[in-house]
Structure 1
């Protein structure tokens, strides 16, 4: 995995030292549910996720450049809602205390550039729940186009079926 550096952030592999912060982040009732997963109930769940992240390509820990503190994660995942090979889905989540500082946008800009330049992707998609206003604003600031509302497209961690708002950005040759 390639380390990516921005003005304020380092996007890097997950490390064992991230476990406590990952657990705190993952157990927040305001973070996981907006990203589609149940809050962690134990540190063991966080350890399992840490291992999974470490085995997945194109998934990065987001850390502050000044002190390497873990503040979230970002990745380019296979988009199961599309049938084209050169497409990935952008997903990200930040620790709550780092919301509103432009970190999601900064990390996503770097990952989008990586996706288009290094992976040669044609399109990067993103899906958000209708109530996730913060993420919608991030995507709009990044230049993602709103493609539409997919009715009854996702099942949340608690079993609730919900719509997805679909966004995408295309590589300009």
Structure 2
């Protein structure tokens, strides 16, 4: 599966299309702050969605609006590409905002970092792996990065299973456990890191 990347001179394409998904720039032009607030604050299952993520449900529409503004700044300076994930026409819930995917870019290390969260109703559809394929293609073929990493918090078995599937399919490896990786409220938590190199990606794609 290859993503369709919009032709542009900007660091990140504003849209990506896969077989089942439309990924569009996460910005105010593509969602209202109130709609995004409603999803992040009170969507069905949002506490489960956020359980292993480094954020909590938003407290106010103003907080959500500020977040969207930050998304725009990070996009413009080329450090983080965030996309709204929407199912395409033939999918159930076509056009609905399903979640947010991101690729952080560290030019010092020539490394990209993948992340995603999906609303609970969209779990189990394989969207995480499909989104990963699109962002890996962008990272290696467009941005010419050397490595893409993905990290999940210890105990997040749902993410672990999804990550293991797509990392293996693109020739990547499990790198190990990261002790005291970040804080989570009053706790300090471990995480697990996986990587895919540009060479591993190329070999995997050539073999498909």
Same fold (TM over 0.5): yes
Change (3 A) 1:68 1:20: farther
Q: How far off is 1:15 after superposition?
A: 4.2
Instruction: Note if 1:153 corresponds to 2:184.
Output: no
Q: Secondary structure at the match of 1:128?
A: strand
Measured in 2, the distance between the counterparts of 1:18 and 1:159 equals: 33
User: 1:144-173, CA deviations, whole angstroms, 9 ceiling, x for partnerless residues?
Assistant: 4211111111111x1310011111111125
110, 121, 135: which is aligned to 2:145? Answer: 121
* Match of residue 69 from structure 2: 51
Range moving further from structure 2, 31-40 or 162-171 = 31-40
Measured in 2, the distance between the counterparts of 1:21 and 1:93 equals: 16
Range moving further from structure 2, 87-96 or 41-50 = 41-50
Q: Secondary structure at the match of 1:150?
A: strand
98, 103, 109: which is aligned to 2:133? Answer: 109
Change (3 A) 1:21 1:135: farther
Q: Secondary structure at the match of 1:30?
A: helix
Tell me, yes or no, if the aligned pair for 1:126 and 1:168 is still in contact at 8 Å: yes
| Larger RCO (alpha carbons 8 Å, 6+ apart) | 1
**Structure 1: 5+ residue stretches without partners:** none
Tell me, yes or no, if the aligned pair for 2:27 and 2:71 is still in contact at 8 Å: no
Q: Secondary structure at the match of 1:161?
A: strand
What is the Cα-based RMSD across aligned positions, in Å?
1.9
Change (3 A) 1:8 1:18: farther
Q: How far off is 1:21 after superposition?
A: 4.4
Measured in 1, the distance between the counterparts of 2:32 and 2:128 equals: 18
* Match of residue 56 from structure 2: 38
Q: Greater helix share, 1 or 2?
A: 2
* Match of residue 23 from structure 1: 37
Tell me, yes or no, if the aligned pair for 1:21 and 1:70 is still in contact at 8 Å: no
Q: How far off is 1:43 after superposition?
A: 2.2
Tell me, yes or no, if the aligned pair for 1:123 and 1:171 is still in contact at 8 Å: yes
Q: Please tell me whether Structure 1 or Structure 2 has the larger radius of gyration of its CA atoms.
A: 2
How many matched pairs?
A: 169
Tell me, yes or no, if the aligned pair for 1:148 and 1:167 is still in contact at 8 Å: yes
